[in-house]
């Protein structure tokens, strides 16, 4: 599946609401929740995006997240680095959830509160991580104001 173009997503206004949080009755999953409003809708909806820990671990390994982050933080003071690493891990999960949400928006989303299951876009996320890891990492770098993103346009 192709990475959704910004034009495809321009009809939606997406706001991060909260997460990552553990999923009730699914200790191996985390969830982020977003408020989503499409231009043609009279109101917005809440969309939860679940990710399995196994998928997160695979994504971290493929991207080389730990070494990537250490390279960015190498000049930072130790105390500040510890707090930033913790924040970056949450941002990594949020970024993956955002990517999954974008895939769902590209596929079409009903105007109702819903949860996108971890398995729904697992293969598409894996494809995105393998072919465009900066789709994940640029959001983190931008949020932490660590370095210039590769290309957010």
Q: What is the pLDDT of residues 32-59, one digit of tens each?
A: 999 999 999 999 999 999 999 999 999 9
Q: Check pLDDT > 70 for residue 149.
A: no
Q: Which residue matches tokens 């680095």? A: 81
3-state secondary structure of 135: helix
3-state secondary structure of 79: helix
The predicted structure's pLDDT at residue 146: 81
The region, left, alpha or beta by phi > 0 then psi within -120 to 50, assigned to residue 64 is left
Q: What is the pLDDT of residues 76-120, one digit of tens each?
A: 898 899 999 999 999 999 999 999 999 999 999 999 999 999 999
Contact of 144 with 84, CB cutoff 8 Å: yes
Per-position b or e across 31-62, b if 16+ CB within 10 A of its CB: bbbbebbbeeeeebbebbbbbbeebbeebbee
**Nearest alpha carbon to residue 36 among 97, 121, 127:** 97
Distance CA 134, CA 23 (A): 27
What residue ranges do the domains of the chain occupy?
Answer: 6-143
Band of pLDDT at residue 131, cut at 50, 70 and 90: very high
User: Does the global pTM surpass 0.85?
Assistant: yes
DSSP state of 40: T
Mean pLDDT of the chain: 90
3-state secondary structure of 49: strand
């Amino acid at each position: 599946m192709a990475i959704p173009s910004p034009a495809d997503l321009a009809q939606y206004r997406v706001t991060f609401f909260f997460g990552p949080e553990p999923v009730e009755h699914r200790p191996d999953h985390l969830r982020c929740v977003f408020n989503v409003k499409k231009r043609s809708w009279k109101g917005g909806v809440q969309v939860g995006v679940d990710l399995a820990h196994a998928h997160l671990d695979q994504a971290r390994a493929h991207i080389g997240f730990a070494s990537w982050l250490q390279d960015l933080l190498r000049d930072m003071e130790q105390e500040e680095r510890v707090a930033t690493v913790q924040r970056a891990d949450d941002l990594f999960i949020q970024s993956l959830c955002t990517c999954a949400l974008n895939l769902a928006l590209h596929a079409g989303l009903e105007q109702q509160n819903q949860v996108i299951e971890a398995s729904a876009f697992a293969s598409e996320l894996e494809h995105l991580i393998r072919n465009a890891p900066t789709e994940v990492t640029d959001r983190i770098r931008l949020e932490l104001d660590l370095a210039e993103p590769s290309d957010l346009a």
